[in-house]
A = this chain, B = another copy of it.
């Protein structure tokens, strides 16, 4: 199975309001709830692609139970979340029907105790025994040490399980130094890590910091990969309109599934770019549209990157 780790799981709530007016009272016209956090999004896409996937991370309180009820409804997905005392956080995406814009409100998440963090690490090492690949995704909840991902990367490497890291800030900086197989920063995360806003230079720099391969997700410009086997750019055919929420998570699912299927890098990147574009195009934020994916896959332009052309 593929293992995804979401230390800061969430109950993602989407509210629609006719028009957001600060300091006024609003009647919410539509409420949608789903399990959230990057690793859970990745797992849902992997399950939809037909992979056996196990999710771990933390769950707590009534919000955690709602998240777990939602996961139980996903065929092919096994819930191995570790219970904690504090409640799983909520995120609220407030969609203004007039403009289509979204205002985001993110709770910080429960504070994890040292004993809970130790219990998680034990559970994680047990799960690695049967994992074919692992993805470490998203922010850290309060209480988890900033070097957490570095420790989880080292444990995966000790167990000979390929490991992908998708996070930001100091947890990314420390995690990269532990030499993960793949990191997948977006443009902002890459610039924060390397200090460079030039994508090829920054991606190469990120690789020099310890990652075996770096796949940068550059929004409408697709993916840029720097790997030991070569450098590629994968670009969707047209500039897609829609909601980019979850597009990076779908790209991670594409990369991981391609890795366990031992696809060549260009095929992994085409799949990741097509899944990402099919997520932007989907009606529901964070889901991917399977028909759009099938239609987009052969139309992704994946080509070798020369130093001068990037």
Contacts and interface: CB of A to CB of B under 8 A. Distances in A.
Contact of A108 (B22, B25, B27, B65): B27
A219 B63 CA distance: 36
21 contacts: A15-B105, A17-B105, A20-B22, A22-B22, A22-B96, A22-B101, A23-B101, A24-B103, A25-B104, A25-B106, A26-B104, A27-B106, A28-B105, A28-B106, A28-B107, A29-B108, A31-B108, A62-B63, A62-B66, A62-B69, A92-B105
A196 interface: no
Given A29-B108, A92-B92, 11 more contacts: A21-B103, A22-B101, A23-B96, A24-B103, A25-B103, A25-B104, A26-B105, A28-B107, A31-B107, A62-B63, A62-B65
Interface string A102-115: 11111110000000
Nearest to A28: B107
Contact of A103 (B26, B62, B69): B26
Interface in A100-135: 101-108
Nearest to A99: B23
A94 interface: yes
Interface of A: 15, 17, 20-29, 31, 62-63, 65-66, 69, 92, 94, 96, 99, 101-108
Contacts of A27: 106, 108
A149 B62 CA distance: 32
Nearest to A19: B22
B101 A94 contact: no
A132 B63 CA distance: 38
A25 B96 CA distance: 14
Contacts of A22: 20, 22, 96, 101, 103
Sorted nearest first, the 9 A-B pairs with minimum C-beta distance are: A25-B104, A23-B101, A62-B62, A62-B66, A28-B107, A26-B105, A22-B103, A20-B22, A31-B107
Nearest to A25: B104
Nearest to A27: B106
A60 to B, nearest CB: 13
A135 B304 CA distance: 73
A99 B101 CA distance: 23
A108 B63 contact: no
